[in-house]
Amino acid sequence: MIENYCLNFNDQKGKNKATIFQSKLGITLENVDILKNAIK
What is the domain range of residue 23?
2-38
Please state, in angstroms and rounded to a whole number, the distance separating the CA atoms of residues 34 and 16: 19
Q: Give the span between the Cα atoms of 5 and 33, in whole angstroms.
A: 15
Predicted pLDDT of residue 21: 95
CB 17 within 8 A of CB 4: no
| Polymer length in residues for the chain | 40
Residue 17's pLDDT is 95
- Give me Rg for the CA atoms of the chain: 9
Residue 40: its pLDDT value, please? 87
Residue-wise pLDDT for 10-39, tens only, equals: 999 999 999 999 999 999 999 999 999 999
- Structurally, the chain folds into a number of domains equal to 1
Tell me: pLDDT of 1 over 90.
Answer: no
**Reduced to 3 states, what is the DSSP secondary structure of residue 33?**
helix
Query: pTM (2 decimals)?
Result: 0.81
